[in-house]
Amino acid sequence: MLRIFLTVILPLVLPTAGYALYVLVVERRRREAEEAHTPAPWWATAPWPWLVFAGVAAMAVTLGSVALTSGVAPHTPYTPAHVEDGRVIGGGPSGN
């Protein structure tokens, strides 16, 4: 059940929730500017700062999770590709 949630439901719900949150924030700022009879600043309704922040945050989470969950142990010896009995044997970490 957790696998279905993480691979199907969460990727569908997160973008929708993010967009709904964005619309709520932009509309609130626009309404406050209209009530004060002042033009809203360009950054108050522009999506670019939010999109850049969301992209950097997503990149940081992705890079962090890849760095922490993949690869081999440090100082693992590497065996280069070589030929044995006329067949090419691929290289890789020794001991796996």
Burial of 86 (0-12, 13-18, 19+ CB in 10 A): exposed
Could you report the per-residue pLDDT of 24-41, keeping only the tens digit for each?
A: 888 888 888 888 888 776
pTM of the model: 0.45
The span from the CA of 24 to the CA of 19, in Å, is: 9
- For the ranges 29-33, 43-47, 71-75, which has the lowest average pLDDT? 43-47
